[in-house]
Structures are given as C-alpha cells and as structure tokens.
Amino acid sequence: MDGSNANPGTGCPVMHGGNTGTDNSVTKWWPQSLNLDILHQKDARTNPMDADYDHRAAVKALDYDAVKADVQALMTDSQDWWPADWGHYGGLMIRLAWHSAGSYRMGDGRGGAGSGNIRFAPLNSWPDNASLDKARRLLWPVKKKYGNALSWADLIILAGNMAYESMGLKTFGFGFGREDIWGPEKDVYWGSENEWLAPSENRYGDLDVPSTMDNPLAAVHMGLIYVNPEGVNGNPDPARTALHVRETFARMAMDDEETAALTCGGHTVGKAHGGGGAHDQIGAEPEGEGVHTQGFGWSNPGHKGLAANAFTSGIEGAWTKHPTQWDMGYFDYLFGYEWELTKSPAGANQWQPVNMPEDEMPVDASDPSQRKRPMMTDADMAMKVDPIYNEICQKFRADPEYFAETFGRAWFKLTHRDMGPRANYYGPDVPAEDLIWQDPIPAGSTSYDVAAVKAEIAGSGLSTADMIATAWDSARTFRGSDKRGGANGARIRLAPQKDWQGNEPERLARVLGVLEPIAAKSGASVADVIVLAGNVGLEQSAKAAGFGIEVPFTPGRGDATDAQTDADSFSVLEPLADGFRNWQKDQYPVSPEAMMLDRAQLLGVTAAEMTVLVGGMRVLGTNHGGTKHGVFTDREGQLTTDFFVNLTDMANTWEPINAGGHYEVRDRKTGSVKWTATSADLVFGSNSILRGYAEVYAQDDNAEKFVRDCVAAWTKVINADRFDLVA
C-alpha cells in the first residue's frame, strides 16, 4: 500500500496521497519561503496550445468585421436563462469590460484586461464582479466560433466596445492582440482585506486623506470601484466621495477630465441591480458553489427569469431615461433635478430625484408598461457637488461632441492601458495617432555598421562594469505586467530616469557622455549604442574568463523625446531596489530578496535565469556604487562561476554584522573575513530551491554552460521590449 492509514469506513480511498487542493501548499510552513512559482506561472505545461502556435499570426488572420458583427448581434439576442435589461446586453458587457480593465494599477502595472485574468479567481468571485460570469457565458458562442485567434481577453473588451457602438457612440478605436493566460496570475497581491465593503478604516491611514489608502488596495475594492457606491464607509457624502474618487482614478493615471468622462459615460447606459431580493438571499460566488451550478455564482432565488430582478450591488435603478442609448440623459437627470437620499429595495443608500414626472422616468427593464424611478450613487452626486468635476461636467453638457470624444479616448485608455506600445495592436480600428500614455518610440536606424560601433565602444575607455551596468539600468525598467519600460527609447537619458538614485546619475552622465557621440557619428540610436555597450562588456568579460562568445544583437531601437515621455507616469517605474545590482534605496519591511523576486517577475525571467544573472553580475563588479557585497571572487571582471563556487563552499560561514541585512563571509577555520554580502546574495545558498540552481553552476563541468546561460538571460532582458521584432 502507500503508507496511508485511511479508515475504509470513512469512504476515503486507500490510495489517496495526492495533494489535490490549493489550500495545502507543500511550502506554506517554511518560515522564510519565497514564492518562486510567480516566475513560472506561464509555463508551457499549463498552455494547451501547440508548441508552434503563434497567437500574433493567428490574430492577423481574423475576419475582424465578421467578429465585430457577431458581437454586435449578440447584444440584442436575449437569452431566457439570463434575460437582457430592456432586451439589450450593452450595460452588462460594458461592465464586464470595465471591471476587467479596471483591475489595472499604475504602481506596478499589474491587473488590467490584457490577459483575460477575470476568468479566474479571485477576480471571477469578487462580489464587485457579481454576475459577470453570465456575461462571459453569453459571449461563449462567439469565442467558440472564432477559436484560438480570438482571445477571451480581446473578446471581453471588444464586447464593451461593440456595446457602446450598438447604443450610438462612435468609439475611439480598438486593438486586437491580447493573449490569454491559462490560470490566475499568481504574482498579483490584491491586498489584505477579505471582507466585502468592510469599514474603510481598514484600508486608510486617515479617512480624511485619500492618499493614505492602501496600495495595493484589497480585492473587494478593486480597480475603478475603490469607493463604496453608498459613500465613504457606507455614509453618503458626495463631497467626501469626490476626493476618494479622484485618488482612485489617479492611481490609474487618469486625470480629472478623464475621471469625469468615465464616470458620466459609464453611467449613461445600463442600470444597477438591487431589486431581486436582499444580499443574504444571494448564493455563493462561482468558486464557492457546487458542481451542479455549471460554474455560475450568486444564485438568485428571486430572479424568476426577469431582467428586472437581477441582483448585483444592492443599488437599484437606471441613471438615464433611455439606458440603451448613448445620449446626454445622464446630465439631464443629474443637473436637471434636485436629489435626495433614499434606500433601494435591498436597503442600500442611493439618491432619487425630487418631483420627477413619471413620464420622464425610464421604463422597467422587463416590463415596458411600468416606469421606475432612476437613481444616482454617491459617486454620481460627487460629479455635481465637487467644484472641479462640476465645471468639467458643465463643459461636457454644453458640447455633446466634446463629451463623446473625451469619453471615447478615456475608454480606449482604460481598456488598452496594459497592452504596451502600438506594435502590439492589430486590426482596422487601431488609431493612427500616437498617444503619450502608449510611451511612443520612433523607429531607429538598422543600416549602420554594427561592428564598427562595437569597435568604437571597445576603444572608448569605458570599463566593462560601466558598460554592463548602464545597459542593465536602461533595460530593467521593463514591466511585463503592462509592457512598459525597457531599453528601447533610451529614456534613461531623459527626466525623470536620468536623475533616479538607482541609475547613479553622475556615473550615468559620464557614460552617456562617451556613448552619445558614438551614436551621433555612426547614425545609430543612443538606445542601440547603450545596449551594444552592455553586449561588448559582456563579451569582453567572457573572453577574459576564456570563453569566446558573441552576444546576439538586433538593431532598430529608437530614441524617445521628452515630448513623447509622460514624466509623471514614468515616476512609478523608478526602482526602489535592484537585487541584480545589490542595491536598495532605503530599508523596507520587505526583504531585499523578496524585492528582487518581484523585479525578476516583472522582467519575465525564470528562477534559473534570475540565479545566473545575479551570479554573473556579481563577479563582473556591477554593484550599485561599486560596493563589494556578493563579489565572491578574486577575478572581478571575468565571467566565471566563482560566485556559486564560493557560495556553496562549506569551508565558509556567514555571519550577520548589522540589522540592515549585511553579512560577512568568513573562513570557517580561521574566522578571517573573505567577503561581505547581503541577503540577496546569500539567499541563493540558503533557499533550498535557489541553492539547487546555484549548485548547477558551481559544478566543475558547467563553467561554459554558465557563460551561455548568462548571455541568453541577458539577451532576454535586453530584448524584452522589442515588440517591433514580433509585430
């Protein structure tokens, strides 16, 4: 048998040693475990597509017009099992797109609509996303028909676009090209909160200072819905709510005008749902229901097949007289009437108009013979009460075309924010205009003499450490989460990056002073020359270690200008720590190795690649400020395996020397200090998983493999943002 002591009387099979649940991780008891799984979540073993499947090629072959027509037709094809409000699914599909995109957060670029993550927990089971499981099932026939080429991520956003188009708005544009993931994104920390609409004191340092809101905010207040629709802390106060709305949208790089446009335009169509019972009558979320529910959640015994009885937030009612039309009705209601506090049928706080004639009210979502009183949330009233938002709304109200244009652009930004540069957009509706939030980069030259430039760099007098560190600093800003940053564009020479502490501004200016004239003379971009310098430094270091190797290089990077750079939005890319260069800006509650892991995940490297890069950069002397922590070699500047050999040598001991996470590596017999280190160094010898990788490179037979692997990992990071090569 398998050693199990299972009691046959319990009905549990004897042969049941499999760990088949996620609630019992084999590493959860480790006192200092690192979640290295976040580096491997897109492993080929989870992807059902063929190894040679090329999603970009498949997307290019899509019949875009046919897809759009099918999605638009679906809007008015109401299904008995989930009937549409007023026979039109537009509001539901807009909410699906909004909530998928609205999970994006500018701080680390995680969340957003770019991967179809809303299909999985926790997003698919957040109360804020109630009944969006139905929206996705309604879209299934279209997904089924077009198959691999139409990702769920694209379809979800396209559904929102086509909803608006079918209701009369000319949208700003749409880009196909998002690629699905096949399980939830394990790297995203959604926050510590675990209670739906818990008291706000749990997520603010000071309720009167919106900027003290937790970052990241907890899942139950995701995305653009940070603010309780009933008011801050559930207490209606539109002026106070306005301040919190402003902070919420700012965290998504939205200004006041974009915020007002999205709020007003989002509520121009559709309705809130709180008429079909009370919260305590609604079933569990999708992941909490039984198998028989078909993966649906939030069962509603009071629904009775009527759209008007759907239940989502507990707030009930439409915002406009014609909720399936794009018009100016939202402003007509908001500013045309006085509003008073009331309760929804489910007991939620909301606002109702005073003395509105019945014939001005919207009809019932199921029965057109009945009129229902409209409503406004506290966030809607904020648009009226806050002087800044009010002024913007008055401008919209006076110019419907301006409102439509502003909303269209803001909606496009919301739904495409994490797609990266325009090279990742496909289809006939991609706007030709370069938008600053897309971080545009002009094409660079490919016709210059690469070998001649490399020779110039090699003879420039720059050290290998200077060349490698500058190229790394230029590339390490890349975030796979939203495809921002990276070496392309050479924004390291522009504000704010040139002044970041992590980039060693004085050293950077000196290196750029050498490289920029070489670029000008050769016709190459500065971006290409920076990368070439790093490659030259790596090649020289490998040669010094006895290995001749050429680092792959593809020209064509461009140089962005200040006018193409939104300095404010780039501020969030500033590194607070870089374990690869053994540096952190300050002391943080999070360990240096955990911050290094976060950086590695954003860069898209595996645990093995992270290991080889750190080991390589240590012996090359690329530490920030020239510190010697982790430089476990007497051959600095040579691409050797010395870091791993000495890290795994039991003739050494590691002794903490201060509370700042610094250590001395000492000879076990004599006690003499051989080197110093940080925890970002020593974790590769203490964490059992990382030590396994380190031991590979410490072996006598893997010196050449180390050089090859280091070059490959380097090239992967350096080219992470070359979307132009695969477009």
List Cα–Cα distances, 269 to 165, 272, 474, 494, 663, in angstroms.
Answer: 12, 10, 44, 43, 61
Question: Which residues have C-beta within 8 Å of that of residue 211, sequence separation ≥ 6?
Answer: 247
Rounded Cα gap, residues 86 and 683, in angstroms: 60
Residues 6+ apart with CB under 8 A from 499: 505
Contacts for 275 with CB less than 8 Å, ≥ 6 apart: 308, 309, 310, 311, 316, 344, 345, 346
Q: What does each C-alpha distance from 291 to 133, 277, 295, 296, 387 come to in angstroms? A: 15, 24, 7, 9, 51
Spell out the SS3 assignment of 343-371.
ECCCCCEEEEECCCCHHHCCECCCCCCCE
- The full length of the chain comes to 727
Distance between CA atoms of residues 36 and 168, nearest Å = 48
Q: Nearest to residue 263, comparing CAs of 438, 390, 132?
A: 390
Distance from C-alpha of 178 to C-alpha of 523, rounded to nearest angstrom = 34
* Residue 617 identity (one-letter amino acid): M
d(CA 719, CA 709): 15
Neighbours of 15 (CB within 10 A): 10
DSSP 192-204: S--STT--GGGTB
Written as six digits, the tokens of 121 are: 């927990």
Which are the contacts of 289, defined by CB distance < 8 A and separation ≥ 6? 283, 295, 296, 297, 299
- Whether 297 contacts 284, CB under 8 Å: yes
Cβ atoms of 390 and 373 closer than 8 Å = no
Catalytic residues: 99
Identify the residue whose tokens are 């699905």: 180
Q: Which helix (H) or strand (E) holds 653?
A: strand 652-656
What is the C-alpha separation between 580 and 399, in angstroms, rounded?
53
How far apart are the C-alpha atoms of 689 and 607, rounded to whole Å?
Answer: 9
Which residues, in sequence order, are CB contacts of 602 under 8 Å at separation 6+? 108, 109, 478, 479, 480, 481
Backbone angles phi, psi at 29, to 5 degrees: -85, -10
- In single-letter form, the type of residue at position 149 comes to A
What residues have CB less than 8 Å from 432, skipping those under 6 apart? Answer: none
Ordered DSSP codes for 29-88: T-TT---GGGGSTT-GGG--S-TT--HHHHHHTS-HHHHHHHHHHHTT--BTTBPPGGG-
